[in-house]
Structure 1
């Protein structure tokens, strides 16, 4: 067994703060870990080396397994993510379909709507006697935002949240009900297929209309279109929930941070980058060695699985000054690997950054005081060594008094 074992065995303390495990893995260097049947890559420079070499290190088993080729005669076959588990040239072609909708300038244009959604959700917290900032905020906002960007009806947001959680339940852990997952997949894919049937031929800013147009042009099958939409909804929902939850946990548990951000709101973006570095919502993904390769002085044989630890690279003291600490003045704050690197760098990184920043800004604006009701070491974290984030943040909130109507500028 390797130093990775506490995470693979889902030990609560290791899942909450894997920094100690990662330090031991970096000290050990690249090595084979039998508990996951993969070579572990934990040092920053080694992680970057693997992520940049997509030809040698394939993404065909990003989630730890290679799915069998699609069988058109089997309607119950699991949906296969089109982007996550593909390599060039297929990955390049598929990503180009939605690339334009996720450019930083296009995402920036959504900020007024994202801020309105955040303000609605934060204001609703006033009415709650029992507040959990994951359940009542972080878990609600991202699915509304990604549904808006994709062009999915608002009334079905709650269903998408439930479906997304079910589909990702087995990643990086050992549980989940396969029968239930199949039922959820059927419901999810059937609904998306009906939305595609309703397309009126207009290509607008919604991603769904762009995917429908590609299907009409014969570039993707219906099943591939459904897989594409499901992948985007899941990716834009669950990971951003974890990012927002982790940012709120840091905000509420770091002495003086609220006052510092209020005194200089421009630092909120740097805080978001540091939150992503320290608490990356995806801690690592797998790759498949397509040829013998040397990483960190160790030979990785062709056909081997490789587990690439973004979370460890983000805490490597060789790459980050004062690495364990949250620094709002970090000059290379956005250079972390929370969104990966290379061809598979996260398509929705600009959207996730926007949502994280806006939620923190709205909380700072609306709240006079934020008190987490559990110590950091007592917070429950997701039971996964791939996905990372607190699953509950009980809190006591004190809101600023609303501005009297006569004091509001006309």
Structure 2
């Protein structure tokens, strides 16, 4: 019966326009929320989180979406790394799960997709009812490899080299428009703006509408039942419909031009249309939607929050900022260190495909495990003084903020290049970037992000 329902659903998806499918999913989701209390988004009241050393191991809940905002993630993860590196959380708003917190164990898991599966999704919770989308990051080989290979070319070395000047010109445009000597929100004026410009380029999305991409990224990655965020489900569904209608129009328009003889470009739509395995993905709407959202979120969160995190970190560690200004050749290594220190995406989830043992713990088939990258990148067993930003750290590139193995972030080199160019241009223009107050941190288990970072710039004196 399940197979029959799946087949019927697949055929319906092939003939119903994707925007109508999302509208239908929205109606279904709202109905489920009315009749089934379990489908209603969890409510997370913020209360004071005690230091990890003050409570029992059983009281530590790494799924608390306020851990990062309150700064207690450091003490809680350190306690687990030291005393219970593979820790079972019996009850949480997201159900039971294992927390894996040491670098060595996470590296081993990420390399072993035969035992630890990325399916059905890589978040701590679950997508809302009706929003059953598919994306290659939440697939295992061989299907993962087939779909990833179709878009991998957009970040091939040749393309990155061609993109470098475009990225630099856009960074220059944004920085030249910034106010000097007066407060402004770095997150909005720099991090979001630059990320939106790059996303629009990679996706060949209308440039003037680029903020639509960062908005849908924030909404989808902030679903309460999935990541403990603050997104409103009705707003998320409503925002998705016009965006998808626009994307499908871009897809059909580009497909017609390619069929008429136009040479495909190196944007993601062109690459997908040029690959036998993905050229008809529009006939698999939920898969199309899932991979589109994956590419938007993947291109948004890592770069954007590292752009803000780097400014914040260099203000927390002024000696490192002075070291950077004295030796700008440290920028490439510093970029790796900023990504390690920030770890913009805190974790990835896996499911055990079979009974197994991890650091002496009996893991049952079907158990959910969370690989806490944010903890691994602060593991004292691998990084000396891990809570410090050290821009010339010898093993900075060994961080696992991008994951490892077959699921390693496809755009890691592009993210590094964007950050490198940003800091090259910043040092060329400004003597100081002063953080005026503590940043506002987003509510999430997943995204280690900033919503506000007030700064003031001091222009560099020209010799």
Q: Secondary structure at the match of 2:391?
A: coil
- The yes-or-no answer on 1:29 pairing with 2:107 is no
Where structure 1 has 5 or more consecutive residues not aligned to the other structure, the ranges are: 69-75, 404-410
- The yes-or-no answer on 1:87 pairing with 2:140 is yes
The alpha-carbon deviation at position 14 of structure 1 amounts to 5.7
Tell me if structure 2 keeps the 8 A contact 1:247–1:356: no
Deviation >6 Å, runs of 4+? none
- The yes-or-no answer on 1:145 pairing with 2:204 is no
Tell me if structure 2 keeps the 8 A contact 1:283–1:388: yes
Of residues 326, 337, 344, the one that matches 1:274 is: 337
The alpha-carbon deviation at position 103 of structure 1 amounts to 2.4
The alpha-carbon deviation at position 373 of structure 1 amounts to 0.5
Where structure 2 has 5 or more consecutive residues not aligned to the other structure, the ranges are: 1-55
- The yes-or-no answer on 1:331 pairing with 2:386 is no
**Number of aligned residue pairs:** 393
- The yes-or-no answer on 1:238 pairing with 2:238 is no
Partner of 1:72: none
- The yes-or-no answer on 1:166 pairing with 2:216 is no
Of residues 427, 437, 440, the one that matches 1:364 is: 427
Superposition pairs of residues 10-409 of structure 1, within 5 angstroms? 10-11=65-66, 16=71, 18-27=73-82, 28-34=84-90, 35=92, 36=94, 37-60=96-119, 61-65=121-125, 77-78=130-131, 80-126=133-179, 129-170=182-223, 171-199=226-254, 200-201=257-258, 202-214=263-275, 219-222=280-283, 223=285, 224-374=287-437, 378-400=438-460
Q: Secondary structure at the match of 1:391?
A: strand
The alpha-carbon deviation at position 65 of structure 1 amounts to 4.8
> Are residues 12 and 41 of structure 1, via their aligned partners in 2, closer, same or farther at CA, if it must alter by over 3 Å?
closer
Q: Secondary structure at the match of 1:266?
A: helix
Q: Deviations over 1:328-360 (max 9, x none)?
A: 332222111000001000011011111111112
C-alpha separation in 2, matches of 1:158 and 1:99: 24
> Are residues 216 and 83 of structure 1, via their aligned partners in 2, closer, same or farther at CA, if it must alter by over 3 Å?
closer
Taking structure 2 as the reference length, what is the TM-score of the superposition?
0.79
> Are residues 387 and 13 of structure 1, via their aligned partners in 2, closer, same or farther at CA, if it must alter by over 3 Å?
closer
Please give the root-mean-square deviation of Cα atoms over the aligned residues, in Å: 2.4
The alpha-carbon deviation at position 17 of structure 1 amounts to 5.8
The alpha-carbon deviation at position 204 of structure 1 amounts to 1.6
